[in-house]
Structure 1
């Protein structure tokens, strides 16, 4: 009998390895090491994703809101007289001033007088010609009356001859019936009547034609007299204009000529400044020139008080990259205004209702209005692209990129220059 190894085998009951304390200790140490490694990797990745950090005390944060945006422009201007007429010499001559620069004048007061012998001589000649034509017209009227009287007399005489010829023919008819006169005498009486009728008719027609001719000649002289009167009145007006009077109540601004100097026609003599009406002369940057319009509302700031106004004129030319606009006060003009007073004005270019807007800040200049840093829930600021619209004095319109309720950084910082994600610290 061959012996086997069955007697050497021992049956063992299987045991779980987790019941062994030594195995459990080793497993716990392994899990702890793995968790530490994972935490380290996550922390390392998180620290590498943030491009920088900023302290909340060093930045400004604003919330995106919905509201009305007033697009405006703040400009500087100076107070000028709204009415400052310059008076010119009406003719060539010698000027004599009766006032000096700075004198207060009233409307209608004599300011200067121009002595023009040439113009006065022309007025005398035209007046003499007017008188001559007036005398000729009066003579023509008398001559017309005499001629009409003669024409009437001729017509009346022709009528008398006609009446006599009619009576002579009637007498000849009676005589012929009684055979007192011959046929030849009767025919002669008939011819005399026909001649008398013809002469009367021609006398009446000639009288009518003479009346028309006389009326035409009289009318021609009347037109010449009327024309000469207009020329004389025009010269008289020019002579009267040699006395230069003030058109407004105000002050003499400056004298453009010296006393008793020779001046040509249309030469500026002096300027009168009306101190009762002022306007603001504002310099607007050239890039806003297309946005300006007449009757556009303006707020004028004077010593902290806002005065309403409106644009009344816009200069067509650009000088030193600026356009000059005239603004008048629409309410009662302040009493303490004076020439060349410097004031600040706010031009209300546009009013947009119910738009997304946010407070203006230095981030617009830093990014050109193309990006903003929006705050998220992880105490971070994320760079997002935006599109801006109208720019107001304190707010800017957001066309796209942000929603109502978002918060963004409105200030600028070096850490935001090229950062995509910035951590915020208290």
Structure 2
């Protein structure tokens, strides 16, 4: 007989699934796994929303504000003598110095003498020629007076002959009327009268022409004498310049040659340094050369003192990518200045009032001043295009792209190179 399976079944009482520890463990693991999945999705979405992340401790942030911008330039310079003339030899010769390097001299003091026999000889020759021409001029004036007297005498004699001819014609006319003389004698008297008038007119004209020629010859000699006098005075000036004197009160800077050396004309001999007047010689970078101008204001820092000045000269050439500018102190010579003293100068290139400003930083060099990263209310920085204007020492002008009160990242960072949106974290 086959037995059934009824004897194998066991009836169990129903239980709550939440009381099964194995099931609870599986549900807990599922919840944790779901949480990790959700967190990963959120992290992935956050990562794809921003291009980079930066710590606030690594960057500098500045706010855009409105104010006055002073466009300036800080350069280094050295104090130099404003007046340091170099004296040259006026002619070829032997130089004899009367001073040594470092001697203190006054204006007009003899510094050196150049012995030039050639120049002295030329002066003597020109002086002799001047004396000769002066004597010839005096002789010409005497000769002109004598010739004028002779011309006047000839004209006066012709006038007397004319008067005599007129009287003779008058007597001949009366005699002809009384038939005392023949007609032939009357006609001869008339011819004598006409000849006398002609001779008198010619004598007067010749006297005028002779006097004019004499004046011309005298004037020619006077011009020659004047020309020779100028040449003699020029040589005399050159001879006087052989005695070289100091143009200013100062100190002998250096001697360019030795005692009793043979020098050529226009050879530098020595330098006189005027220590009573100083200027600042500032080296300005080449890219600022076009912005410089005469009388431009400069602020010179000497210790804790600010000294006002102005640019008085700008060198036309560029040396070692720099342009040399001379700065004069406008409020008088400051005390304790000495040559070659190093000072800092602040050149005031431009001043703009009531413009948008932001602090200068590395972001300008990183983007060329075309973009900035502006902070939003979600602790993020958004890349925005900007337009900058004038550059100051500590600030830069913002023309467009930002508003007053906006905060931007002013420092540079590698993460910002290709980032459009940057997340900021503490």
Q: Is the TM-score greater than 0.5?
A: yes
Structure 1 segment 171-182 matched on structure 2, within 5 A: 171-182=171-182
* Structure 2 residue aligned with 1:44: 43
Q: CA deviation at 1:75?
A: 0.9
* CA distance in 1: counterparts of 2:125 and 2:101, whole angstroms: 38
* Structure 2 residue aligned with 1:308: 308
Structure 1 segment 130-279 matched on structure 2, within 5 A: 130-279=130-279
Q: Once the two structures are superposed, what CA deviation does each residue of 1:261-295 show, in whole Å capped at 9, x if it has no partner?
A: 11111111111222222221111122222222222
Structure 1 segment 264-343 matched on structure 2, within 5 A: 264-343=264-343
Q: Once the two structures are superposed, what CA deviation does each residue of 1:53-89 show, in whole Å capped at 9, x if it has no partner?
A: 5254x54332111222222211111111222221111
* CA distance in 1: counterparts of 2:45 and 2:332, whole angstroms: 66
User: Once superposed, what is the RMSD of the aligned Cα atoms?
Assistant: 3.0
Q: Once the two structures are superposed, what CA deviation does each residue of 1:159-183 show, in whole Å capped at 9, x if it has no partner?
A: 2223333333333333333333333
Change (3 A) 1:177 1:154: same
SS at match of 1:84: coil
* Structure 1 residue aligned with 2:81: 81
* Structure 1 residue aligned with 2:396: 396
* Structure 2 residue aligned with 1:424: 425
Change (3 A) 1:142 1:33: same
* CA distance in 2: counterparts of 1:317 and 1:156, whole angstroms: 79
| Cα pair 1:73 1:348 within 8 Å, conserved | yes
Q: CA deviation at 1:371?
A: 4.4
* CA distance in 1: counterparts of 2:381 and 2:179, whole angstroms: 151
SS at match of 1:127: helix
In the alignment, structure 2 segments of 5+ residues that lack a partner are: 1-15, 19-26
In the alignment, structure 1 segments of 5+ residues that lack a partner are: 1-20, 24-28
TM-score (norm 1): 0.84
* CA distance in 1: counterparts of 2:166 and 2:367, whole angstroms: 123
* Structure 1 residue aligned with 2:359: 359
* Structure 2 residue aligned with 1:377: 377
SS at match of 1:67: strand
Change (3 A) 1:185 1:348: same
Change (3 A) 1:331 1:170: same
SS at match of 2:102: coil
Change (3 A) 1:163 1:298: same
SS at match of 1:134: helix
| Cα pair 1:382 1:422 within 8 Å, conserved | no
| Cα pair 1:416 1:422 within 8 Å, conserved | no
Change (3 A) 1:185 1:33: same
SS at match of 1:79: strand
Change (3 A) 1:170 1:389: closer
Q: CA deviation at 1:131?
A: 0.9
Q: Mean Cα displacement is larger for which, 358-367 or 199-208?
A: 358-367
Q: CA deviation at 1:132?
A: 0.9
